Amino acid sequence: MREVLKTAVSLSLSGSLVILVLLLLRPLLRERVSRRWQYYIWLLAVLRLLLPLSPEGGPVGALFREPEASSGGGLPAFSAPSAPLPEGGDAAPPDLSAPPAVPGASGREPQAAPLSLPGPAEALALVWLGGALLLLVRKCTACQSFARCLDAGRREISDPALLDLLARAGAQLGVRRVVELYENPLAASPLLLGLVRPRIILPSAAVPEEDFRHTVLHELTHYKRRDMLYKWLVQLTACLHWWNPLVWVMARETDRACELACDEAVLRVLPPEERRAYGDTLLRALESGGGYRAAPGSVSLGESAELLKERLTAIMHFRNTSKRTALLSLLLAAALTTGAAAAGAYTGPARQSAALPSGTGGASPSAQAASTDNLRLRAALLAERAYADGDLAGFSVAFRCLDGEAQTVWLERCYQDKHIAFFRACLSESWAWAEDSLLEQYAERAYQDRTLAFFSLLLKELAPGKKELDAWIRRAEQDRRAGFLAALLAEADRDGEADTLKKQLEVQQMEEYRALGITREGGAYSYNGQPVRIFLDLRPDDSCVTLDMNPKGVLDIRVERGPDGSIQSVREMTGEEAEELFGSLEDDDRPVTVPVKEDRLRENTWHWLGEFTLSEGDRIRYDVSAETGDGMTIGFADMEHKPNDVSYYTVSNRRENGALRCTADFLFDGKTVKPGRYRLFLHAPGELENVRGSVTLDLLEKDPAPAEPPEGPISLLKEEVPAAVRAAMERCGGGTWCRIRHEGRQYLWYGGFPGRWFYAPVWEDGAWLVKFQPRQGQGPGYILLSLPDGIPLNAVLEGEPVHPVEIQA
Amino acid sequence: MAALQISDSELELMKIVWSAGGTALYAQIMEALAKEGRSWQKNTVITLLSRLVDKGFLTVRKLGRRNEYAAAVLEADYQAAQTRALVNKLYAGSAKGLVAALIRQEAISPGDYEELRRFWETGGGES
């Protein structure tokens, strides 16, 4: 044991010498040799610290062997006058008093301590090894939890354009392996994880293309050079020599040198004119991470800013290595290696090498790895921000990376704020409440607070056994809590009873509604006799009692409930409330696709495809083809004018190679044409058949309803139409359907229709579909509808489509 | 049934495998992509394919040095799952509410309704 200790101390001393020399040389060499050299030269120190090889009579080895050779002369080794370099002595003591004591101990009782008894030397050796092991384990777990955290909240980047950029960067650097690409807002900066399954994690994929390219080049370079292995080796060394502060200086220096060397390698493959842009990328990366770093408690700002400054300086001074430099580097390396080897180490009396402790973890101890705390802080901030923004996905990502205590605090906060969605996220994302006692407390609270939604959630999460469930059911029965009982019965798989109870509840509910003037008939609600469009009944915790929609309704109403869940009043919803409620359903980022599917478009007709708000930056794509026909025009017309007068962004195509196809892909620049509201049209100058395709709109400003229907058909009396139209109606006669066009309007006419009818126009696939339904009773004796000309109108009478005769008035 | 969502580009690859009858060699996939005018990089396609394998949409088999990908999910199943995802998104899992709303708006035919109802009863309800 004592031998091991002696070897370790001697290695540390010897390594310290190398580290000191390298530190002293650093300012001299910084601009003279390549960054790569400055990075890998640290390997020399690492190897010196790890390998107990020594030439015969190396100074450090001799230092340790001499007192032993004098067989218990009682002289502590450090007072040996021949000690060649004082730095070694300076380096060892500051951390603990351990190293100096070693030689002393070895000198005093060489025989008195047989192997079995733990003497002071053995105790020291144990402290040393224990410390090393503890540090190593801590590093590994920190790395693991760091990687797990980043993996948990990661999202695949699936844009093929970005993946292609990554693939090209890999080819450029000669990296054959497929490197995965993810984004995670928790990452402070882009980073590379994993040796077996290498993956790059970006804080966000939404960066300029150039930045993205530079970033992946940088990270792939790390991968190509296996910097992770190097870093692990350095960390392992540092853990073994944990009591030597110089070793920790070395660890920091290699991290810096690693980034600088990596930058250098990237600059080598970049064209010279792009080098400045690479520096810009680094700066922007710091800027974008700034929001988090400025947080109190974060210590990395000073250090990272300093490193960045050094990196930027290096980029400015970058030049390719000359032959002279290469030679200098080689000579220097040779000299240093000889020196390091010559420093020697104590290799034991029998000169056999000491066994090296081995074993490293799988992840990389990157600079961030040491800062799991930093990650926690970022997670806490992100959670806070996401919560304030109502960003559930962001919250979930951040929440997973919080420690148990912080998670518990969030659970309570979500409960207090009655934020059911976030509460649910807390429940499903946490690993903190492996034991259910905390959740049971919440279930009890939810029961007492009568918050059924929370209670149901907790019930699902707890999945209580039959006994507990029965106890709950009895309690709910006693307390006459029908809602809770229904939830519990459903959970207990007593569906029959649950259904009966639900029906009872529904009847009860309807009675309550009736008392307020709300009735239901044939599935549709009415309020004071008027049909209801949106009917919303929420408990105070935002859980839903009733949500019903009926497009034919005229009223939006909302039932107000008190804290105990009983109905307080009913009132009409304001426009904003209704919008808020349904605006949230439409937060779809995908582009709007307007399908075009027309079997036949008559000569000189305008086919309307909806109204859209165009703003600068919108992307518009047409792809429509027709089987027969000579040409078509797709475009936007402004709202006031007829398309003949003014039309914008029109693309006209003629027949080519047997197919008529109209394609276009352009950006709305907002300059030649003012942003605003436009009507999308397809114009058939001649007859078109089998028109198929779509128009895709990537709009920045989404319309509340993507394809808002144009003006719909209205029913008129004969007396209300212009005389010319009336004359045309006469000509049409009794039993024929006619479409009469007159001054920009079309009139659908069918004389001789006995009885009453009603019609329900539906805007569907760019046309009004009107279904006429006969009704009992006396009617006007005809059908007469009017709508603007150019808007397609299809009529169906009792299931049969009608084909009107076209008449120009 | 794989509950995970796949990206548009992954779906494109799935469609190629589906239309090739359920199995396709890597080279066939590249060929089909080229035919569709996609000039994706080799590693891009490999990344997307291995994600699909991870998500359980594809299985991979080595035939010598070539990789053969087989669809582990039927196209119809995938579409049913998509419908369910839409239902969940819009109506928080209440397909009944969705169906009621669709019927009321006459947006679906009685035949569609029957199909939806069957879908719901035969497994749309599982979470």
For chain B, domain boundaries: 8-71, 75-124
- Among A235-244, A373-382, A524-533, which is the least confidently predicted range? A373-382
Which residues on neighbouring strands pair with residue A592, listed in sequence order?
A: A697
Q: Is A184 left (phi over 0), alpha (psi -120 to 50) or beta?
A: beta
Q: Which residue of B has its CA nearest to A158?
A: B7
Higher local confidence (pLDDT), A711 or A254: A254
| Three-state SS letters, A167-206 | HHHHHHHCCCCCCEEEECCCCCCCEEECCCCCEEEECCCC
What is the structure's pLDDT at A193? Answer: 86
Question: Per the domain annotation, does A633 fall within a domain?
Answer: yes
Mean pLDDT to the nearest integer, A264-269: 90
- Interchain pair A163, B105: CB under 8 A: no
Comparing A353 with A472, the larger pLDDT belongs to A472
Mean pLDDT of B1-14: 76
Q: What pLDDT, on a 0 to 100 scale, did the predictor assign at position A579?
A: 66
CB A482 within 8 A of CB A505: yes
Do residues A100 and A92 lie in contact, with contact meaning Cβ atoms separated by under 8 Å? yes
Point out the domain boundary residue: A533, A566, A581.
Answer: A581
A94-108, A533-547, B83-97 — most confident range: A533-547
Residue A736's domain comprises 714-808
pLDDT of residue A367: 40
> Looking at per-residue confidence, does B10 or B98 come out higher?
B10
Residue A542, pLDDT score: 62
| Domain-located, residue A679 | yes
Helix axes A420-429, A452-462, angle to 10 degrees: 10
Q: What is the pLDDT of residue A416?
A: 87
Does A551 sit within 8 Å of B7, measured CB to CB? Answer: no
User: In this predicted structure, what is the pLDDT of residue A86?
Assistant: 39
Domain boundary among A673, A698, A723: A698
Token code pair at residue A471: 């106890």
Note the pLDDT tens digit of each residue in A21-42. Answer: 999 988 888 888 888 889 999 9
DSSP per residue, A656-675: BTTBEEEEEEEE--SSSS--
Average pLDDT of A219-233? Answer: 90
Output the pLDDT for position A637: 79
d(CA A683, CA A681): 6
Q: The tokens of A398 are what?
A: 């951040």
pLDDT of residue A354: 31
**Average pLDDT value for residue range B82-89:** 66
Contacts of A552 in chain B (CB under 8 A): 104
Query: What are the chain B neighbours of A170 within 8 Å (beta carbons)?
Result: 43
My answer on whether A558 and A600 are in the same domain is no
Task: Please state, in angstroms and rounded to a whole number, the distance separating the CA atoms of residues A243 and A89.
Answer: 13
Task: Verify that A623 and A720 share a domain, yes or no.
Answer: no
Query: Which residue in chain B has the smallest CA separation from A180?
Result: B47
User: Between residues B88 and A174, which one has the greater pLDDT?
Assistant: A174
Round to whole Å and give the CA distance between A371 and A273. Answer: 36
**A787 phi/psi in degrees, rounded to 5:** -155, 165
Q: Helices B8-19 & B26-35, crossing angle to 10 degrees?
A: 110
Instruction: Check which CATH number belongs to the domain holding A634 and give it.
Output: 2.60.120.40
Q: Which of A698, A726, A752 is the last residue of a domain?
A: A698
Residue among A614, A621, A706 at smallest CA distance from A668: A614
CB-CB under 8 Å, A762 with B105: yes
Residues of chain A contacting B, Cβ within 8 Å: 156, 158-160, 163-164, 166-168, 170-171, 178-181, 523-524, 544, 547-552, 585, 760, 762
Does one domain contain both A561 and A597?
Answer: no
- For residue A230, being part of any structural domain is answered with no
A610 has pLDDT over 50: yes
Give CA–CA dist A583/A488, Å, rounded. Answer: 33
Name the phi and psi angles at A284, rounded to 5.
Answer: -65, -35
Q: Structurally, how many domains does chain A consist of?
A: 3
Q: Do A158 and B43 touch (CB under 8 A)?
A: no
Same domain, yes or no: A594 and A689:
yes
Residue A291: pLDDT above 60?
no
> What percentage of chain A reaches a pLDDT higher than 90?
9
pLDDT at A333 > cutoff 50: yes
Mean of all residue pLDDT scores within chain A: 76
Question: Which of chain A's residues have a Cβ under 8 Å away from the Cβ of B44?
Answer: 160, 163-164, 166-167
Q: Is the pLDDT of residue A164 over 90?
A: yes
Q: Token pair of A643, please? A: 């398309």
Is A683 within the bounds of a domain?
yes
A593/A670 same-domain check: yes
From A534, which residue of chain B is nearest by alpha-carbon distance?
B101
pLDDT tens for each residue of A357-395 = 222 223 333 343 345 556 777 788 888 888 888 788 778
pTM of the model: 0.53
CATH topology of domain B8-71: Arc Repressor Mutant, subunit A (1.10.10)
A113/A117 Cα distance (integer angstroms): 6
- Contact residues, chain B, for A164 at CB < 8 Å: 40-41, 44
Comparing CB atoms, the residue among A158, A178, A547 nearest residue B50 is A178
Distance CA A48, CA A517 (A): 89
* pLDDT reading at A747 higher than 70: yes
Q: Per the CB < 8 Å rule, is A551 touching B104?
A: yes
- Of A363, A148, A343, which is closest to residue A235 (Cα–Cα)? A363
Identify the pLDDT of residue A658: 65
Which amino acid makes up residue A660? L
**A75-84, A592-601, A702-711, A795-804: segment of lowest average pLDDT:** A75-84
The H-assigned helical ranges of A109-182 are 120-152, 160-173
Mean pLDDT of A296-306: 45
- Chain B hits for A544, Cβ within 8 Å: 92
Alpha carbons within 13 angstroms on the beta-carbon side of residue A701 total 11
